[in-house]
Structure 1
Amino acid sequence: MAKGDDALARKRSRVRRKRMRSSENAVSARVAGIIASKRRRKSGKRRGCEGMCFSLPTPEDPFNDIHAKKRKEKDGAEYDRPSKFLVVCLNAIRDAAASEDGGGGGIHDTGSWGVELWNCCSAAPPTDVLDTSGLCATREQTAWLVSTACDIVARKEKLGVVVSCPFLLYLVPSQENAVQVRSICKPLKSLGIHSVSLHPGASIEHQMSGLKSCEPEFLISTPERLLELVALKAIDISGVSMLVIDGLKCFMDLNAGDKLCSIRDAILSSPQITIFSDPSDRSVAALATKLLHGRKIRRLCTNDSVTSRSAFVTQKIHICPRKDQKAPKVKQILEQILTNHAKKTAKVLLVAASNHEAQHLSSSLKLQNCTVTDDSHDNSFTICSSVGLINVLVKDWESMTATNFEDFDTVLVADLPPSVDEYTDVLTGASRHVVVGEVHCIFSSADAPLAKPLSQVLTSCGQVVPEFLRKLASS
């Protein structure tokens, strides 16, 4: 029976490999790599990365996978580090700012914040971001954000994915902000990224004609003008992939909260959302929660101030005069947390003074009319009642350094630490994945030396200082 072309090709390949392995015909690794590269180029199977690599392929790594460090493609775009194109975008913005006003030098200084933002936006699925560094985004933050969007667009296009336009929708409260953001995005035009700003400063007819002649990847707009153009069907925002709300407090001062919700509802996809908000105004937390649809978020901040890093975290101080009353007080607070929790399911971190105190609390917390399931190995238990479900993890201050408590939206400090700095570490480290969090503290007579510094922390964060704590701090 005659052999097919595939079988003959496989036979020729076996003979060729055998000839290459033979000692009398063996060549050096460098020459073998050059031959392999030439053969792939002639057969039309040359890798896209081959021309950009500084090392030649080898028989052990004929496609330069080791040097190219292939990224994983799983359920969308997921990468291990920013690409060189992102750095090119940042440098273009920096050079343009330096030529105009001598600025732009601080773009790379915010690199740690930018990489965290890139990780959130490039994850699969992407994570929403809430930044509480200040009232609005700085020029450096905007540069990192638009460069991250450029990087994602470039990667998608390289994979053959059709990118909907606009890809990024950047909402600003005023015309001045729109012009500022547009000036940051302008240097990206030479890199193939077009941006358009929409604001009341120009006629709507002019903007409609401009949108017809251009399909921008980035759209910077005020809410009012955007809704007007959407109503006239001059722009379609249903496929937006990234949504930025710059200055949530400013939008609330302009009574534009409903307009933001209308824009969010007009986006039919599930965009990655980044919100910049003032940390001192707690009234914006409800609007942020509504815009984010209660999804898991990531809190970011460019500074280390307690006020910024603990934004929208409520601090409540409970007095307990005697030590033997502490366990009943903890029971009462847990019942209150369970009753007030919106989802009727809560995850609470309970912090005790020592391991002995932690075990004592775990064994003594038996709520009335509740079913408590204990796990003595991990000092954790679950409370099931008619009200809801609460999972409690008990830790002591010594083991807190090795505990990841970012996922806990509620922390109950049964025993205050010797220094208020340890308390602020918990305050700024908890509730990193929710908009609103809570920290409860039980204050006893032994904690009197901490009254003044604790009052200062509460005041700086805009929290209510109880009368008993104010009297102790002033005495």
Structure 2
Amino acid sequence: MNFNNIGIIAPIFDAIKEIGYTEPTEIQKQAIPIILSGKDIIGCAQTGTGKTGAFALPILQLLTLETKKNKNPRALVLVPTRELALQIDQSVAGYAKHIAVRHLAIYGGVSALKQIDQLQKGIDILIATPGRLLDLVSQGHITLSDIQYLVLDEADNMLDMGFIHDLKRILKLVPQKRQTLFFSATMPQAIRKLADSILSHPAEINVTPVSSTAEKISQSVFFIEKKEKTALLTKILKKEKQIQTLIFTRTKHGADRLSKSLSKSGVVSACIHGNKSQNARQNALTSFKNGTINVLIATDIAARGIDISELPQVINYDLPEDSETYVHRIGRTGRAGKEGKAYSFCSEEEKPLLMKIQKLIGFQLPITK
């Protein structure tokens, strides 16, 4: 099966082939025909399952086939972080290479002037974080009355980050008659309640249970005292100097402290977290992607939107409080059939967290000494 077989028109299909995609992922196979038919969707899918293509491709097609066009956006994609907004915008740019659809990502942390300038020229697909969107709406730069397609991506993270009130304000600004596509990596009761309040007779799609981890990822755990973690990490990084490594810490301050400690030991790294400016985060991510630096330290929220196709190694410097976050973290490696490694450091006080992770994934992590 290819994208043409599930209803994608030739100009978009050609762009996908040029990017190098030939086979749709499971979520794309299920979602694209449903979205093209006009139904609402609630989709449970993790990062890395091809979710962006699942909603962006049919929306691009539906917009292309319409003759009506004006300056106001007709599709709105709401996301929790700047990084994810940029990532989706880049994907849309690739898919839309041969069609006349205008798109823009707007987010906080940078000057709004360029974003306002683009909006004034007219936009078809608007990818936005809630805060910046509401700012520009209140200033009169954006009108949401022509929205036909509304996407909520990573809805669980939007709730975790406290965007629920912003979401409710935005929902009052878009037409009631619209197609709504709702995606979340997890589906707790609060998310289900939100989905029920905004969707109309949705089709439900579940792809890759959150408890499953890719077979190609080699996972192991080090039992270690908290104060010895940095020395062990330094040893691993110095031994494997040329290997790109994404390191997860639980807190922003912890990420900064770790980066400074590594620097003193001669290991160059960069950090991305919520206290960093958008430019600093983007520069760090670009340097990591192009290999200028090989070590990137991130908190979970900042890491949303990091999509590196051949990332060989992830290290959990701190174990996450939420077991499902472990699956999302290590899912950054071992993509598209490639092999990957995932190391976890576990101190005495973190052992209950490890037990919860092992219960979720269904096996005990091998111990490395």
Give the drift of 1:91: 4.2
Choose from 74, 80, 89 the match for 2:12: 89
Aligned to 1:357: none
Give the drift of 1:113: 3.3
CA distance 1:269–1:285, change in 2 (3 Å): closer
Show structure 1 runs of 5+ residues with no match. 1-79, 99-104, 309-458, 462-475
Matched, 1:184 2:91: yes
Aligned to 2:64: 154
Q: Are the equivalent residues in 2 in contact too, given 1:132–1:279 (CA < 8 A)?
A: yes
Matches within 5 A, 1:103-142: 105=21, 108-110=23-25, 113-123=27-37, 126-134=38-46, 136=47, 138=48, 140-142=50-52
- The one-letter amino acid of 1:89's match is I
Q: Are the equivalent residues in 1 in contact too, given 2:72–2:142 (CA < 8 A)?
A: no
Aligned to 1:437: none
Give the drift of 1:84: 2.6
CA distance in 2, matches of 1:119, 1:174: 28
CA distance in 2, matches of 1:237, 1:146: 19
Aligned residues: 210
- The one-letter amino acid of 2:9's match is K
Give the drift of 1:141: 2.3
Q: Are the equivalent residues in 1 in contact too, given 2:55–2:181 (CA < 8 A)?
A: no
Give the drift of 1:119: 2.9
Give the drift of 1:274: 1.0
Partner SS for 1:200: coil
Aligned to 1:246: 153
Matches within 5 A, 1:246-265: 246-265=153-172
CA distance in 2, matches of 1:215, 1:225: 18
Give the drift of 1:198: 0.1
Give the drift of 1:221: 0.7
Matched, 1:300 2:300: no
Give the drift of 1:251: 0.5
CA distance in 2, matches of 1:199, 1:306: 28
Q: Are the equivalent residues in 1 in contact too, given 2:89–2:103 (CA < 8 A)?
A: yes
CA distance 1:285–1:215, change in 2 (3 Å): same
Give the drift of 1:201: 3.3
Q: Are the equivalent residues in 2 in contact too, given 1:117–1:145 (CA < 8 A)?
A: yes
- The one-letter amino acid of 1:108's match is E
CA distance in 1, matches of 2:93, 2:77: 14
CA distance in 2, matches of 1:223, 1:129: 21
Deviations 1:399-455 (A, max 9, x none): xxxxxxxxxxxxxxxxxxxxxxxxxxxxxxxxxxxxxxxxxxxxxxxxxxxxxxxxx
Partner SS for 1:156: coil
CA distance 1:280–1:286, change in 2 (3 Å): closer
Give the drift of 1:182: 0.9
CA distance 1:271–1:163, change in 2 (3 Å): farther
- Give the TM-score normalised by structure 1: 0.40
- The one-letter amino acid of 1:181's match is I
Taking only aligned residues, the RMSD between alpha carbons, in angstroms, comes to 2.8
CA distance in 1, matches of 2:168, 2:160: 15
Partner SS for 1:299: strand
CA distance in 2, matches of 1:269, 1:162: 20
CA distance in 2, matches of 1:189, 1:165: 21
Partner SS for 1:268: coil
Show structure 2 runs of 5+ residues with no match. 213-358, 362-369
Matches within 5 A, 1:196-211: 196-211=104-119
Partner SS for 1:239: coil
Q: Are the equivalent residues in 1 in contact too, given 2:155–2:183 (CA < 8 A)?
A: yes
Partner SS for 1:191: coil
Partner SS for 1:274: strand
Matches within 5 A, 1:440-455: none
Give the drift of 1:140: 2.4
- The one-letter amino acid of 1:207's match is Q
Deviations 1:141-167 (A, max 9, x none): 21232111121122222xxx4577412
Q: Are the equivalent residues in 1 in contact too, given 2:64–2:101 (CA < 8 A)?
A: no
Partner SS for 1:196: strand
Give the drift of 1:121: 2.2
CA distance in 1, matches of 2:77, 2:32: 16
Partner SS for 1:230: helix
CA distance 1:191–1:258, change in 2 (3 Å): same
CA distance in 2, matches of 1:201, 1:189: 28
Aligned to 1:225: 132
Q: Which has the higher contact order (CA 8 A, sep 6+)?
A: 2
- The one-letter amino acid of 1:286's match is K
Partner SS for 2:188: coil
- The one-letter amino acid of 1:117's match is A
CA distance in 1, matches of 2:17, 2:133: 29
Choose from 39, 54, 66 the match for 1:144: 54
Instruction: Please say which structure displays the higher CA radius of gyration.
Output: 1
Q: Are the equivalent residues in 2 in contact too, given 1:93–1:185 (CA < 8 A)?
A: no
- The one-letter amino acid of 1:95's match is E
Give the drift of 1:168: 1.4
Partner SS for 1:237: coil
Deviations 1:61-93 (A, max 9, x none): xxxxxxxxxxxxxxxxxxx962433xx424424
Matches within 5 A, 1:17-416: 82-85=7-10, 88-93=11-16, 95-96=18-19, 98=20, 105=21, 108-110=23-25, 113-123=27-37, 126-134=38-46, 136=47, 138=48, 140-157=50-67, 161-162=68-69, 165-187=72-94, 188-212=96-120, 214-279=121-186, 281-292=188-199, 295-303=200-208, 305=209
CA distance in 1, matches of 2:99, 2:109: 27
CA distance in 1, matches of 2:55, 2:185: 18
- The one-letter amino acid of 2:202's match is I
- Give the TM-score normalised by structure 2: 0.51
Give the drift of 1:127: 1.6
What percent of counterpart residues are identical? 20
- The one-letter amino acid of 1:257's match is I
CA distance 1:300–1:180, change in 2 (3 Å): same
